Structure 1
């Protein structure tokens, strides 16, 4: 058994190439073969979000704090809250982040296929980000 202590976890700013706004990534990990799992704790300040991206084996987000927005390309923009668990299927182009006025933190889990857990694409525009949230 291996334990990574909170005090030993590295923290990094989310790269501007893949994120808009202030994003902090903590405890990023990738497990060795035969596992394909990788993940991190990702904190988004208000207004921060990912660029559009896909995951070859899908992605699970476990929301630990705050309120966020997400959207799969061509689908409605959805709101989620602390305690929610999101699943984005393999190869679905999507984005996620905090709302305009509230921060959000999630644990992101995904698997690598052919050595890569993610394919990054263009940034989410302000128009896309600020589009109305779908009603339940």
Structure 2
């Protein structure tokens, strides 16, 4: 058995996020596993930039209200208990609703995210 102490909460990097975002790492798999799990906390209106994941990404919303969008699709509102799966290579973004905080677990397997441009305010509003 191994017990790990929680590392400090880290502020999301400005290159990858718009607004205030905080990350709490939960676990990284031991080889050969490449699983990475983190709790990601978004303030109202905060969001990721467009990005994709080799191996895909699963999101599990734990609290608040959020938004998610895959490139070329409609924005979907998220609620606690919702599970989102973005398949391998699908460009997408996710974040909090304009007037709510939102926390989700991010579960990925494989290489780090491939980051694209920031989501514009117009994109965030669905315009």
Task: Name the TM tier (shorter chain).
Answer: over 0.9
CA distance in 1, matches of 2:17, 2:27: 19
Equivalent residue, structure 1, for 2:4? 4
**Unaligned segments of structure 2, at least 5 residues:** none
Q: Is the 8 A contact 1:72 1:94 kept in 2?
A: yes
- CA RMSD in angstroms comes to 1.3
1:2/1:85 CA distance change after superposition, 3 Å: farther
Tell me the SS of whatever aligns to 1:25: strand
CA distance in 1, matches of 2:75, 2:102: 16
TM-score (norm 2): 0.94
**Unaligned segments of structure 1, at least 5 residues:** none
Q: Deviations over 1:79-134 (max 9, x none)?
A: 1101111111110000000001101000000011xxx23101110000000116xx
Which ranges of 4 or more aligned residues in structure 1 deviate by more than 6 Å? none
Equivalent residue, structure 1, for 2:107? 109
Q: How many residues align?
A: 127
Equivalent residue, structure 1, for 2:73? 75
